[in-house]
């Protein structure tokens, strides 16, 4: 299987965009294997994802960026270029619960997504044993109100040291500061509710109190406003009066595993494009 | 098919409850066709639904209430008795949208539930034509801030005149006053969101703004606090970045029709028991 | 809102396809509002849907076909061209059940899809009253083993007379002959099971016998082999041991309404492309 | 939390059943924490599950069976009695795929169900490493046409040696002989399709060929007829034309994990009652 290049592009809607981008690939002999576009007429935005095989593409890899910049600049487009054989590096942040961590590790081993899990950070020591079981570096950084900014500085240093591309909050249960997000904005969180219902702590208890008949989970990019970042994926499960909070939590774990894993995979396959506070997911 | 009697009972949890109630039916020769119980250990409550055939039941219908009262009183139980051949009478309240109205009328004609639709009330004249098409009385009661209390008095009078058992707000789009609810508490509403997300006006617009990947609808009993009453039924549908508000509304209509119809049917089959702000749905 | 043109194209996969098609639209000043492509690598097929506004498009409507033929021919492409302001004409075929018929009529009136319901054909007289209620021509053509071929000739004549573009079998409950399908292949059927489970008669009874926990419905194009045509849409609902065949049928009606309506809308919006025995649905 | 006793009872429908069973518990001072009954009117069968706390129950554990036999015999009832603090012992049979195995182990460790995983049997050596990682005995029994009956004898011996209560076929990919099933009938299998669609080998390939829009998984008890045993649980996931067989398989793994885990949990909580070829699931 040939490695591929993927362009994710957004720009103000104008005619000829598809033609210009397709011509660029075609003119250089590229074989497109996925192309999808979306126009948000309310926002006046054109968004596209285009993926082509590098084998047979006449432009050497290092010239693609300058060549496409010449096309993108007059369009005032935002764009990213990714190569499928550059393996992204993940840091997974956890607290005490292991279900999302185990699930991500299993999927990575099963090659459901293409990434290296380079680092696990936790504010508790409990999951060190899992990290060791799978030979992944583990750093225990306990968090208190007092030490938060020094610990976040430490976290940031670790991300740099390990050359991390994406942080996955796999039930990290801590609020990440605005300052941290500004420094490292590529963070996906799993929230254990169907957002925007039940923002904040103990969403399953809140859901039980409200007497809902359906519970949910939401994977989103982290932004300074709590649980309000762009949603990547959501899913739900039916509950009944027979189900108490413990059942909500048990069923919720399955949702969290699935929803977080899908969001991480979609991100790693460069299928997610953020604009404003929303996402386009090119499936 | 024999007519049936149904008891809905809630009382504080204590041993022997199932035996006492089952013995009452058995001792009088009743053939139970549905029995279900639920214990909410947090609330310390026992809740049950029991339905039996009246053919062959030795106790004449008019003596069931006094006979069961003798059992229920020492248990300090709340209970309701319903007979399947007493046909409940519905009033459907609408505004301008016809999808839930059409759907309820079609289901009533298809005998999906056992009730008479006796009355349609609207604050707009638009749906009079539907009422006439199906031969249902229609009353147009325009609502303004100024006339609300006189119009609600008029609504109450109509409910009494038509001997209405249940009011269904089928996209009525008006807030019912606390005073009205106190006088007539049997009201089911369909809210066009997955409550408690997007309470109040324009939930589909709110949902679109938030960039959700799933939309929902919620049927609930109406209480004085807006969109906060006990939930009977909810359902959801997946949406994507391709779907604008108009699509949310179109897909939402299907959800609203299904969720409201299920809630009305469950209520009319005496399968819903409210306690606190939650429901037990004996399916 | 400007009228639009839509091209549905399939051809063997080769490089430059997106560029060639996009250039054709762009060169003539077209503003693309939807473009989606799919490559089936197993079949070696490229499939695309492209929709653009006719306002501002420099090529007069009658010249689009010859102009695009010049592009398509060297590619050996199969293609269709549709204009959004050409309103397709539907014939709905029913038997005795009215739920899908009512639903399609309601959706057409609610403008959920752009089509005229010109004709209702039934092998029973029962639903004439619905046709009359909504002012739609109704033809009663009873079917027996003996008269099948003459009645089908009559049906074909009616389709020609009414200039019908699409036949919707809305619970028609009769098998359409291979000869008929050859003469008029644009037929969508709703089958009341999750195909390929429970092909043929009484699928809900079959499903109940098998003890399934989920029932389904399938909308598909009709082909000579019974219930084996290309699937457009499917959906499912959960059932439990409490649900008997009557409940399967009641819940199934909701599925049938939704699934058939979605399939009809997708077809009418020219979003469905058939190849082999499968469909691409450009949503 | 007090240990509990659970009775699962089925007998021909007759009046007084609920009363008789409830009286038995009540008369001995039992505190019922779950009671549910179902009547299958077509089959003329009454089925019930009743669970009560052993603390405070006056009848010593060893006398419950003879005492209840005196009640059950005149009713000609089939019944089972289970105690919550008798921990069932599982054997998990696998082939090469690890997703269901990992999932069951994780859930057992997370106490989602109450059982000991005592034994893993496989026809391939690949998953020995997983067994060792979690300290579970592993037996490699390669299967060929020739050695099948001797290997099955060996399997049976292992089940006896390890005092196994339930065999879980977690993607075992082998057909178990009728003789084996007769000797050890407590077997749950996960089939990777929405049965009865796509019975037998390569269901995802079959599903892809058929062009379905939804795939499924089914957990069922194993009976001599292939993939035709009583269904415990099913679930489905939506697929699109973009998804090839590899995606069907990836999405299917999530379904298989969830559906098998739910079925195993329901069985271990004594919530599943089989009659004919169907199940009642007392949730």
Residue A209, pLDDT score:
93
Q: Is C63 helix (H, G, I), strand (E, B) or coil?
A: helix
In a mutational test of the A interface, the residue from B40, B198, B211 whose CB has the highest number of chain A CBs within 10 Å is B211
Does the structure show a pLDDT above 90 at A109? yes
Residue B14, pLDDT score:
87
Task: Per residue of chain B (283 residues), give pLDDT as tens.
Answer: 799 999 999 999 988 898 999 999 999 999 888 989 999 999 999 999 999 999 999 999 999 999 999 999 999 999 999 999 999 999 999 999 999 999 999 999 999 999 999 999 999 999 999 999 999 999 999 999 999 999 999 999 999 999 999 999 999 999 999 999 999 999 999 999 999 999 988 999 999 999 999 999 999 999 999 999 999 999 999 999 999 999 999 999 999 999 999 999 999 999 999 999 999 999 8
Chain B nearest-CA distance from C231, in A, is 20
Burial pattern C53-71, b for ≥16 Cβ within 10 A else e, equals bbeebebeeeebeeebeee
Q: How many CB atoms lie within 10 A of CB A62?
A: 7
Does the structure show a pLDDT above 90 at A228? yes
* Contact between residue A52 and residue A33 where contact means Cβ atoms under 8 Å apart: yes
In a mutational test of the A interface, the residue from D257, D259, D265, D281 whose CB has the highest number of chain A CBs within 10 Å is D257
Name the closest residue on chain D to residue A243, using Cα atoms: D283
Which of chain A's residues have a Cβ under 8 Å away from the Cβ of B231? 210-213
Cβ of B16 within 8 Å of Cβ of D33? The answer is: no
Question: Taking residues A181-187, what's their average pLDDT?
Answer: 98
Which of chain C's residues have a Cβ under 8 Å away from the Cβ of B283? 240, 242
Residue ranges of chain D that CATH labels 3.30.70.260: 4-83
Residue B32, pLDDT score:
87
Residue C12, pLDDT score:
95
Residue B210, pLDDT score:
94
Name the closest residue on chain B to residue D23, using Cα atoms: B19
Residue ranges of chain C that CATH labels 3.40.50.170: 89-281
Q: What would be the CATH architecture of the domain defined by B89-281?
A: 3-Layer(aba) Sandwich (3.40)
In a mutational test of the B interface, the residue from C1, C250, C251 whose CB has the highest number of chain B CBs within 10 Å is C250
Q: What whole-number distance in Å separates Cα of residue B15 and Cα of residue B36?
A: 16
Low-confidence ranges of chain C (pLDDT < 50): none
By annotation, the residues of C acting in catalysis are 227
Token pair 């994710």: residue: A8
User: Quick one: tokens of A211?
Assistant: 């007497």
Q: Shortest CA distance to A103 belongs to which of A92, A95, A89?
A: A92
CB proximity A112 to D under 8 Å: yes
Beta bridge partners of D167: D91, D187
Q: Shortest CA distance to C223 belongs to which of D174, D159, D211?
A: D211
Chain A nearest-CA distance from D257, in A, is 10
Cβ of B19 within 8 Å of Cβ of D15? The answer is: no
Cβ of A214 within 8 Å of Cβ of B235? The answer is: yes
Cβ of B230 within 8 Å of Cβ of A211? The answer is: yes
Sign of the torsion formed by the C-alpha atoms of B132, B167, C243 and A211: positive
Q: What whole-number distance in Å separates Cα of residue B138 and Cα of residue D203?
A: 55
CB proximity C258 to B under 8 Å: yes
Q: How far is CA D137 from CA B124, D119, D123, D132, D148, in A?
A: 73, 5, 14, 7, 22
Residue A15, pLDDT score:
83
Residue C31, pLDDT score:
86
Chain B nearest-CA distance from C115, in A, is 17
Sign of the torsion formed by the C-alpha atoms of A256, A259, A262 and A266: negative
User: Which residues of D, range 119-178, sit inside 8 Å of A by Cβ?
Assistant: 133
pTM for this predicted structure? 0.96
Backbone angles phi, psi at A213, to 5 degrees: -105, -5
Apex CA A265: angle with CA A260 and CA A266, to 5°? 100
Q: Which of D98, D112, D253 sits opposite A250 (nearest CB)?
A: D112
Q: Which of B196, B235, B240 sits opposite A197 (nearest CB)?
A: B196
Q: What whole-number distance in Å separates Cα of residue C260 and Cα of residue C3?
A: 26
Please name the residue ranges forming H helices in chain B.
17-27, 61-75, 99-109, 128-133, 148-161, 178-183, 203-210, 245-268
Chain C nearest-CA distance from D68, in A, is 26
Pairing of strands D137-140, D116-122: parallel
Sign of the torsion formed by the C-alpha atoms of B228, C258, C275 and C186: negative
Question: Taking residues A235-264, what's their average pLDDT?
Answer: 97
Percentage above 90 pLDDT, chain A? 93
Q: What is the mean pLDDT of chain A?
A: 96
* Contact between residue A192 and residue A217 where contact means Cβ atoms under 8 Å apart: yes
Q: What whole-number distance in Å separates Cα of residue D167 and Cα of residue D159?
A: 8
Of chain D, the end-to-end C-alpha distance in Å amounts to 20
Q: Shortest CA distance to A102 belongs to which of D108, C269, C256?
A: D108
CB proximity B26 to D under 8 Å: yes
Which of chain B's residues have a Cβ under 8 Å away from the Cβ of C236? none
Q: Which residues contact A134 (CB under 8 A, 6 or more apart)?
A: A105, A117
CB proximity B221 to A under 8 Å: no
Chain C nearest-CA distance from B98, in A, is 9
Per residue in D23-69, pLDDT tens?
999 999 998 889 899 999 999 999 999 999 999 999 999 999 999 99
DSSP strands (E only) in C133-178: 137-140, 166-169
Which of chain C's residues have a Cβ under 8 Å away from the Cβ of D232? 213
Q: Shortest CA distance to B263 belongs to which of B223, B215, B222, B225?
A: B222
Chain D nearest-CA distance from B9, in A, is 15
Name the closest residue on chain C to residue A16, using Cα atoms: C26
Q: Which of D16, D32, D39 sits opposite B33 (nearest CB)?
A: D39
Residue D255, pLDDT score:
98
Residue D174, pLDDT score:
94
> Measured in whole angstroms, how far is the alpha carbon of residue C89 from the centre of its chain?
12
CB proximity B244 to C under 8 Å: no
Which of chain D's residues have a Cβ under 8 Å away from the Cβ of B29? 15
* Contact between residue D274 and residue D43 where contact means Cβ atoms under 8 Å apart: no
* Contact between residue B40 and residue D57 where contact means Cβ atoms under 8 Å apart: no
Q: Is C167 helix (H, G, I), strand (E, B) or coil?
A: strand
Q: Which CATH class is domain D4-83?
A: alpha beta
Low-confidence ranges of chain D (pLDDT < 70): none
The single residue of D40, D227, D235, D244 carrying the catalytic annotation is D227
Cβ of D230 within 8 Å of Cβ of C211? The answer is: yes
Which of chain D's residues have a Cβ under 8 Å away from the Cβ of C210? 195-196, 231, 277
The single residue of A165, A227, A235, A254 carrying the catalytic annotation is A227
Cβ of C41 within 8 Å of Cβ of A30? The answer is: no
Q: Shortest CA distance to D176 belongs to which of D201, D195, D151?
A: D151
Name the closest residue on chain A to residue D257, using Cα atoms: A254
DSSP strands (E only) in chain A: 4-12, 31-40, 45-53, 78-83, 89-94, 116-122, 137-140, 166-169, 187-191, 214-221, 231-238, 272-275, 278-281
CB proximity B226 to D under 8 Å: no
Residue D167, pLDDT score:
98
By annotation, the residues of B acting in catalysis are 227
Cβ of D106 within 8 Å of Cβ of A110? The answer is: no
Q: What whole-number distance in Å separates Cα of residue A51 and Cα of residue A72?
A: 16
> Catalytic annotation on D55?
no
Q: Which of A99, A240, A258 sits opposite D110 (nearest CB)?
A: A99
CB proximity D217 to C under 8 Å: no
Q: Which of B195, B211, B235 sits opposite A231 (nearest CB)?
A: B211
> Measured in whole angstroms, how far is the alpha carbon of residue D130 from the centre of its chain?
23
Please name the residue ranges forming H helices in chain D.
17-27, 61-75, 99-109, 128-133, 148-161, 178-183, 203-210, 245-268
* Contact between residue D211 and residue C223 where contact means Cβ atoms under 8 Å apart: no
Cβ of C213 within 8 Å of Cβ of D231? The answer is: yes
Residue C80, pLDDT score:
97
In a mutational test of the C interface, the residue from A21, A35, A71 whose CB has the highest number of chain C CBs within 10 Å is A35
Cβ of A35 within 8 Å of Cβ of C30? The answer is: no
Q: What whole-number distance in Å separates Cα of residue B248 and Cα of residue B265?
A: 25
**Which chains are adjacent to chain B, needing at least 3 Cβ pairs under 8 Å?**
A, C, D
CB proximity C71 to A under 8 Å: no
Beta bridge partners of B119: B91, B137
Apex CA A224: angle with CA A220 and CA A230, to 5°? 25
CB proximity C274 to D under 8 Å: no
Cβ of D18 within 8 Å of Cβ of B26? The answer is: yes
Does the structure show a pLDDT above 80 at A24? yes
């Amino acid at each position: 299987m040939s490695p591929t290049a993927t362009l994710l592009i957004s720009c103000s809607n104008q005619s000829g965009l598809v033609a210009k981008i397709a011509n660029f690939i075609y003119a250089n002999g590229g074989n497109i294997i996925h192309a999808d576009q979306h126009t948000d007429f309310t926002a006046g935005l054109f968004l596209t994802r285009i993926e082509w095989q590098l084998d047979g593409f006449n432009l050497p890899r290092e010239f693609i960026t300058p060549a496409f910049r010449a096309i993108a600049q007059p369009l005032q487009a935002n764009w990213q270029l990714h190569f499928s054989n550059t393996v992204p590096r993940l840091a997974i942040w956890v607290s005490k619960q292991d279900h999302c961590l185990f699930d991500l590790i299993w999927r990575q081993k099963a090659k459901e997504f293409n990434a290296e899990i380079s680092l696990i950070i936790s504010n508790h020591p409990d999951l060190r044993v899992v990290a060791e079981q799978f030979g992944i570096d583990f750093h225990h950084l306990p968090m208190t109100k007092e030490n938060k900014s020094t610990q976040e500085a430490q976290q940031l240093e670790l991300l740099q040291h390990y050359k991390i591309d994406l942080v996955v909050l796999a039930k990290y249960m801590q609020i990440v500061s605005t300052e941290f997000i500004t420094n490292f904005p590529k963070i996906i969180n799993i929230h254990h509710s169907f957002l925007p219902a039940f923002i904040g702590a103990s969403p399953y208890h809140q859901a039980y109190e409200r007497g809902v008949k359906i519970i949910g989970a939401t994977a989103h990019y982290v932004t300074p406003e709590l649980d309000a970042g762009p949603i990547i994926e959501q899913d739900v499960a039916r509950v009944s009066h027979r189900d108490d909070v413990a059942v909500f939590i048990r069923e919720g774990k399955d949702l969290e595993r699935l929803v977080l894993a899908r969001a991480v995979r979609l991100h790693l396959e460069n299928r997610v494009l953020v604009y404003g506070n929303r996402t386009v997911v090119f499936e």
